Structure 1
Amino acid sequence: MHTGSWMIPPVRLAGDIPQDGFGEVVWQLSHRWRVTHRLAVLPVAAAAGSLAHIDEKSAPTMEFQPVTPDLDIPNVSLSEFVFGGLSEDEAGQVAVIHDATDTRLTFGQVRDHAMAFATWLAGQGIGPGDVVTLVLPNSPEFITAFQGIVRSGAAASAASIAYQVRETAHVLKVAGAGRVVTEVGNLAKVLDAATRVGLTPGDIIVAGPGGREAAIAGGHTAYDDVLATPADPPTLDIDPATHVAALPMSMGYTGLPKAVELSHRNIIANVLQFPVYCEPIPPGSRLLGVVPMSHGYGITALANFGLRRRFPVLTMPAFSPVPFLDLVRTHRPTVLFIVPGIASFLANDPSVDTVDWSCADLAISGASSMDPAVAEALVDRIGCDLVCGWGMTEMSPIASFRPRWRTDIDQTVVGMPVPNVRTRVVDPATGQDVVVPETGESAPGEMWCTGDSVMLRFHNEPEATARMLDADGWLHTGDLVTVDREGCMRIVGRCKELIKSRGLQISPAEIEAVLREHPAVADAAVYPVAIAGSPGDEAPYALIQLKPGVTAKPFDFIRHVGSELAKYKQLKSVVFVDSIPRDTAGQIRRDELAGWASR
């Protein structure tokens, strides 16, 4: 903390000032940030006239505010927000295009499918307090099933199709799923995972091509038959601010992946918040949806934003260069939702030049940091605007963007808080806000966020919730940033246990648990190593302590992890050590792992 006299630049007072007693003074330094100073003994009115002599023991906080006004968040259910006011003309327009199965759905069909599924779920006794998990690729079925679950009053959970049986079972268990929706390509895995957590074949709903045949053969339910249910869902009487709509997965600060409780209001807020810094996105825009809908980014941007704004969404089961470029040629998307890995493809791959990109107006990138050289090359090559942002599942997920009109700000920053979000940058060592210089950027601190899109809690994880969400509603993100006086933030590191690979989270604890199950392993620790030439991307490396008298090869453990976890979680290197560094409480000293490996 800066001690002694604490000077602030010329200011204007915002709001009424309490005249006596304990209180809070807020000085508005610009429309982008404010300083809050809590005073323990000095009457506030007196303090306001003595700004140069603030007690060094008091604790100033600096909140960074959006560059645009806050938004009014409607107090309605997510279904009412998405489908309410759908006109007859809009209902007949195409909402989802899925070339992989040659499927087209109109907005009216998406609504009707969702209402039919909600009605069927209600008939099965599924509603508020229940959970249905989706194990589906990006598809029309994902969108309609998600909306149907939410309309029923249940919560929609999702597991990545990249997950193997172990990971899928973990999602089902921590979310408390009572039903699972999947498709033929993932059915065997889902059946194994469901059995592990006590679900039956009858609890599995099979969607997509071949779904009815597979359902009949395996004693499951066919999604196509479910959609034949006459749509008459029961009235939904909920508080949108507290009722859980979705349970996407996230690591939190440490440990295994957790289910994040997002309310109807959380998602509605984010659907309204994030486009503000991306506008104009005019009527008639077409969205290319490559980011996984099982991820918070996909849930907000693709499964809800497009429906709300009546924009057709072009879906792909997974990114693949040839189908991706074919979609652009055929359907001429105007807005591309991407991640830095796809940005690199667009910036560098020769095949990109075979496409006419005059349709593309805007690319929106998130999930991990963007290489500035890649950003510049993408914009030059495709000729569209690029907006990069930052978010996390616990923020529903988008919390900050570099505004589209601020071309003076480089793409290496994650921008300013979106409307209805406030941020602080706090020194993890002292718990006090970092000092922001007149020019340049501050020292690193942990980004804290508060606002309408902050999660309710981790599902059935009170200790993890308390670790990340404080009593005043500030979410401690675990990301280290620097910040300037405009509130523009740059990610410089993290203070939580997390590995990021192509925007996807990897839990060191999850890989460690798999390694410790190997009969040759006495102890193990996993840590991130940056991937050269791919800014923001990391790979998991492992230290392994073998049991006495055991011999093994590193590949034995790489293969072992590969048999249990998704491909993007695979170990890239294994080093054998005599012991794993731990503190007196038995916790791994993670800041020492990289150095331990080179001993």
Structure 2
Amino acid sequence: MCVFSSPFPDVDIPDVSIYDYLFRGLTGAELDRTAVVDGASGTATTYRELTAQVDALAGAVAARGLGVHGVAAVLCPNIPAFPVVFHGLLRAGATITTINSLYTADEIAHQLTDAGADWLFTISALLPAAREAAERTGIPAERLVVLDGADGHPSLQDFLAAGAPAPEVAIDAATHIAVMPYSSGTTGRPKGVLLSHRNLVANVEQSRGLLDIGAEDRLLALLPFFHIYGMTVLLNLAFRQRARLVTMAKFELPEFLRIVQERRCSYLFIAPPLAVALSKHPMVDEYDLSSVHTTLSGAAPLDGELGTLLAERLGCRVLQGYGMTEMSPVSHLIPRNAPGVPVSSVGYTVPNMECRLVDPATGEDLEIPAVGESAAGHLLCRGPNVMLGYLNRPEETADTLDSDGYLHTGDIATVRADGVVTIVDRLKELIKYKGYQVAPAELEALLLTHPGIADAAVIGTNDADGQEVPKAFIVRQDGPVGEALDEGAVTEFVAARVAPFKKVHHVEFIDAVPKSASGKILRRILKTTDRT
């Protein structure tokens, strides 16, 4: 094997729960620091208040029977209540599956069923879809918690006022599942990713020295906490560094800019679509963003020219990171204090990880060069942050995690002699739209339920702004229903049944979907003939 690793020394990973790792060591002075600020209102919560609320929530749910063997779902935007619920449930020993706030009732119900969740925590604005999903999956009203209150359901305030002491919970941090975010992996429908307490602790410890977040930093928490990126680098890493989280529940550019200006945010975590707005929108010049010293882009590839433009516009350091939900998620980062690393790269492998590049055609390891840059190869990663597997998916787990413990990322990368890694392409079929994962197979399965569609295939194609969007290739069913089918009918059918980021943007009608002898859709052929 030709293995390369981080140029930085390994870090010690405590064998403790994520709660103990983040909160047990708080000193008196740290307890009085501000932990969370509501970006909209400015309401602040100290670390002392946060930990008291976390403990109270843990005690309340434990008294109601939710503990080490329970699974709870959290459907909630980035509001100050989220960290209370998230860490309170973990404090009680429960396993959490976080759900995308944009999901429809069908999508929520699917995840609740697949994860085996028997509790659901949400807010009143999302209650209609949450209630429908809960009813369909057998979650009773007393276990559908509406954080801001709703008739017939317990609220967060009810739990905090209950006065039940936090339980003493004994778990094995290396094997007890802390969270089950859902990911499509390299292909297929979303699957529950089994991440242990040790996985979460490890990834914070691996990342924090490179990102160099200080206690005086104010981190704008726009990236959703339900996504592993926001969960690790915002919700957990910020608390470990005793920094201040400034929450933002929904993106609107004027509000984003106002919050950065008024809350004096210093460290921004974004995805590439926001990098475009910050680099080019004239509105940016109307606000004072001088407090920002660093911006980190992740969740999707950031173009080098765009990164440079962003750095010049904001007068800040721009970093890029890479990872997957299956790696908790960070495997590569441009360090904050490492000038000269191109922003078009994803920087260095984080400590405690080993990587390989293999030839996609032969599976043979590629040589790591003594000088210059390697050939492009499939990136494989191994480390303490790599998932335990997929929930109830042994075949998919075996396809992704090999017998040597390497996770097959599905991305094609190069590595320089000095260890800088660049992602150049991807093997996997996932479409990355505005940082969200869209699985072609999920949309194809939905399209095939339409009576006018005989066959379907979905690929990613670029729109006018260079953003990757889903495109459907449709084979019409014989007969009047199929003959009447047009692009508008297809896009409306999908839009009514999925979250907005999964909508089909383009439709092309074809005579037959190209497939291999084994029946696998040959997407590469569709990509080469794509006329979008």
Q: Return the TM-score normalized by structure 2.
A: 0.96
Higher relative contact order (CA 8 A, sep 6+): 2
Match of 2:349 among 398, 403, 417: 417
Range moving further from structure 2, 165-174 or 67-76: 165-174
Out of 62, 67, 71, the residue aligned to residue 11 of structure 2 is: 71
Counterpart mapping for 1:190-339 below 5 A: 190-208=130-148, 211=149, 214=150, 216=151, 219-279=152-212, 281-339=213-271
After superposition, give the CA deviation of every residue in 1:85-136 in whole Å (9 maximum; x if it has no partner). Answer: 2223322222111133553211112111111111122112111122111110
Partners of 1:388 and 1:411 within 8 A in 2: yes
Does 2:79 align with 1:139?
Answer: yes
**Match for residue 464 of structure 1 among 373, 396, 402:** 396
**Cα drift, residue 532 of structure 1:** 4.7
Task: Return the letter of the residue paired with 1:547.
Answer: Q
Counterpart-to-counterpart distance in 1, 2:118 and 2:43: 28
Once the two structures are overlaid, the 10-residue window that deviates more, 436-445 or 570-579, is: 436-445
2:469 is matched with 539
Aligned-residue Cα RMSD (Å) equals 1.7
Shift of residue 597, structure 1, vs aligned partner: 5.3
1:95-244 pair list within 5 angstroms: 95-100=35-40, 102-208=42-148, 211=149, 214=150, 216=151, 219-244=152-177
1:235-292 alpha-carbon deviations (Å, 9 max, x no partner): 111111111111111101221101111111111111111122222x333111111111
Q: Which one-letter code corresponds to 2:92 in the other structure?
A: S
The answer for the alignment partner of 1:429 in structure 2 is: 361
CA deviations on 1:398-445 (whole Å, 9 max, x unpaired) are 110122333322111112101111111111221111234454432221
**8 A Cα contact 2:214 2:241, kept in partner:** no
Q: Secondary structure at the match of 1:181?
A: strand
* 1:247–1:261 CA contact under 8 A, matched in 2: yes
Q: Aligned equivalents of 2:275 and 2:90: distance in 1? A: 32
232-241 vs 406-415, which deviates more? Answer: 406-415
Letter in 2 for 1:131: V
SS at match of 1:129: coil
* Partner in structure 2 of residue 50 of structure 1: none
For residues 528 and 428 of structure 2, what CA distance do their matches in structure 1 show? 18
In structure 1, distance between residues paired with 2:319 and 2:209: 11
Aligned to 1:22: none
Which amino acid in 2 is paired with 1:360? V
User: Does the CA-based 8 Å contact 2:214-2:242 persist in structure 1?
Assistant: no
| Max Rg structure | 1
Query: Is 1:448 matched up with 2:380?
Result: yes
State whether residues 215 and 244 of structure 2, in contact with CA within 8 Å, keep that contact through their aligned partners in structure 1: no
Q: Counterparts of 1:493 and 1:99 in 2: how far apart (Å)? A: 37
Superposed displacement of residue 561, structure 1: 0.5
**How far 1:371 sits from its partner (Å)?**
1.8
SS at match of 2:187: coil
Per mean C-alpha deviation after superposition, the further-off stretch among 320-329 and 72-81 is 320-329
User: 2:215, 2:530 → 1: CA distance?
Assistant: 55
Answer with 68-77 or 196-205: which moved more: 196-205
Uncovered stretches (5+) of structure 1, i.e. residues with no partner: 1-60
Measure the CA separation in 2 of the matches of 1:79 and 1:112. Answer: 13
Q: TM-score, length-normalised on structure 1?
A: 0.86
CA separation of 1:464 and 1:597: change in aligned 2, threshold 3 A? same
SS of the residue 2:74 aligns to: strand
2: CA distance between counterparts of 1:253 and 1:383? Answer: 36
Distance 1:236 1:305 in 2: 23
Give the direction of change, closer, same or farther, for the CA distance of 1:598–1:313 in structure 2 (3 Å limit): closer
1:250 partner letter: S
Match of 2:25 among 75, 78, 85: 85
Equivalent residue number for residue 494 of structure 1: 426
Matches of 1:477 and 1:531 in 2, distance apart?
26
Q: Identity of counterpart residues, as a percentage? A: 40
**Separation (CA, whole Å) in 1 of partners of 2:331 and 2:430:** 19
- 8 Å Cα contact 2:214/2:243 also seen in 1: no
Paired with 1:142 and 1:158, the residues of 2 have a C-alpha distance of 11
How many angstroms does 1:497 deviate by?
Answer: 2.1
Q: Aligned to 1:491, what secondary structure does the other structure show? A: strand
Partner amino acid, structure 2, of 1:485? A
| Matched residue SS, 2:2 | strand
Aligned to 1:571: 504
Equivalent pairs counted in the alignment come to 529
Secondary structure (helix, strand or coil) at the match of 2:230 reads helix
Cα distance in 2 for residues equivalent to 1:493 and 1:109: 46
SS in 2 for 1:149: helix
Distance in structure 1 (CA, Å) of the matches to 2:295 and 2:71: 33
Residue of structure 2 in register with 1:591 after alignment: 524
> Deviation of residue 581 (structure 1)?
1.8
Write the distance in 1 (CA, Å) between the matches of 2:41 and 2:93: 30
- Per-residue deviation at 1:141? 1.1
Letter paired with 2:515 = R
Partner of 1:32: none
Greater Cα shift, 407-416 or 432-441: 432-441
CA distance in 2, matches of 1:410, 1:102: 36
Q: CA deviation at 1:137?
A: 0.3
The residue type equivalent to 2:363 in the other structure is G
1:173-221 CA-partner distances (Å, limit 9, x unpaired): 221111011001100011112222222222210013xx2xx1x2xx222
SS state at 1:221 partner: coil
Q: Which runs of 5+ in 2 are unaligned?
A: none
Measured after TM superposition, the shift of residue 475 of structure 1 is: 0.5
Q: Check conservation: 1:499, 1:538, Cα contact below 8 A.
A: yes
Counterpart contact for 2:295–2:317, Cα < 8 Å? yes
For residue 110 of structure 2, give the secondary structure of its aligned residue in structure 1.
Answer: helix
